[in-house]
């Protein structure tokens, strides 16, 4: 498939067709990491690390606040 860039203000944009969005399970809300190998542009959906980090922070809080109760439950 060949695509052309379109003018978007002072920038250009690439329109991604619905079948490709559906195939990759991405949407207009998906954040991408853009990299290059010097010749190609590589778009990768950004891993949702915020949720994992939030869970780990919450677990640390729970463990520090309730460590005695959790230890007793584990016995």
* pLDDT confidence of residue 55: 85
Residue 37 has pLDDT above 90, yes or no: yes
Poorest-confidence range of 6-10, 22-26, 49-53, 59-63? 49-53
Mean pLDDT across the chain:
90
pTM more than 0.75: no
Q: Does the pLDDT value for residue 34 go beyond 70?
A: yes
**pLDDT score recorded for residue 50:** 65
What tokens appear for 37 in the block? 């190998």
Tell me the torsion sign for CA atoms 21, 23, 24, 27. Answer: positive
* Strand-pair partners of 12: 7
Tell me, what DSSP letter sits at residue 17? P
């Amino acid at each position: 498939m060949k695509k052309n860039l379109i003018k978007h203000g002072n920038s250009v944009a690439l329109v991604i067709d619905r079948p490709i969005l559906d195939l990759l399970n991405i949407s207009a809300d998906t954040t991408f990491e853009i990299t290059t190998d010097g010749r190609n542009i590589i778009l990768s959906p950004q891993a949702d690390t915020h949720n994992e980090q939030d869970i780990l922070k919450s677990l640390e809080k729970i463990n520090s606040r309730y460590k005695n109760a959790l230890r007793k439950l584990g016995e």
